[in-house]
Amino acid sequence: MQFPVDPQTLVGFCLVLVRATAWVLLCPPFNSPLIPKRIRGGFAVAMAFALARTVGPTVGDLSSVGLVGALFSQILAGLALGAFVFVLFAAIQAAGELLDLQVGFSLGGIIDPMSGNMAAPIGRFQQLVGIAILFAINGHILVVRAFVESVRFAPLGRVDTGALAGGLARMLGVSLAASIEIALPVLTALFCTEVALGLLGKAAPQLNILVIGFALKTMIAFALLGATFVMLPETTQSLLGRALQAAGQIFRR
């Protein structure tokens, strides 16, 4: 038994598969090594099957050189889409790492299985909370929908590099400001604690301020950590909306 395959649909499937693979490799939460590679690969293949007919009719007039260029364009498009969402979670983790640095937890960093880099406890915990919030607000559906709409709007993955660089720069600035805002209540309390410990050290030099300070800052950090969690849902939703909006402006037909 033979199954006829439309050549244009087959080429469209390959192009979407390349874009989806690059996107899954970088875009949270799908880029997590905790998700088996077979699952991530199967998800990319499923996206390619669903969108192959959308891209297929646009490849009819492409030459061999144009097809190779389209493959590279698809890789860039997938990585660009994933990068905007990746910056979002980098901001949430950076807020926790600011607290780790102030308290002293950064001295005992551990390997983050999601990124393969060193991560301190609060930063790692806030990243996990951010992912949980993403699923709670159906952000994963919005991320997938943004990918589908990008394929429909720019089937060949043409990316405006100027808009891409400008969008990423703006997102980095917004994410940096957001990470500081998330950690600011606890950072303010820890700064006041540092000043109080300094005055105490001058008044009573015989006290071991280093040991007392570490225990006191740890207690205050954990007591006020809930203040940052209250801000995370609204911040995550706002940053996700900005990231998807900025990602939609980098494509051209």
Q: Is the pLDDT of residue 50 over 80?
A: yes
Q: Is the pLDDT of residue 109 over 60?
A: no
Is residue 122 situated within a structural domain? yes
Q: Is the pLDDT of residue 153 over 80?
A: yes
- Supply the pTM of this predicted model: 0.80
Structure tokens at 106: 């950064």
Q: What is the DSSP letter of 58?
A: G
Is residue 250 situated within a structural domain? no
Structure tokens at 109: 């960093």
Is residue 121 situated within a structural domain? yes
Q: Is the pLDDT of residue 62 over 70?
A: no
Is residue 237 situated within a structural domain? yes
Contact 247, 87 (CB under 8 A): no
Is residue 173 situated within a structural domain? yes
Q: Is the pLDDT of residue 15 over 50?
A: yes
Which domain, by its residues, includes 232? 7-244
Number of domains in the chain: 1
* Average confidence (pLDDT) over 98-126: 67
More confident residue, 46 or 252: 46
Is residue 96 situated within a structural domain? yes
Neighbours of 119 (CB within 10 A): 22
% of the chain beyond a pLDDT of 70: 89
Band the pLDDT of 205: cuts 50, 70, 90.
Answer: confident
Residues 249, 251, 252, 253, CA torsion sign: negative
Is residue 130 situated within a structural domain? yes
Q: Of the candidates 12, 10, 26, which has an alpha carbon nearest to the alpha carbon of residue 70?
A: 12
Polymer length of the chain: 253
* Average confidence (pLDDT) over 12-41: 85
Is residue 70 situated within a structural domain? yes
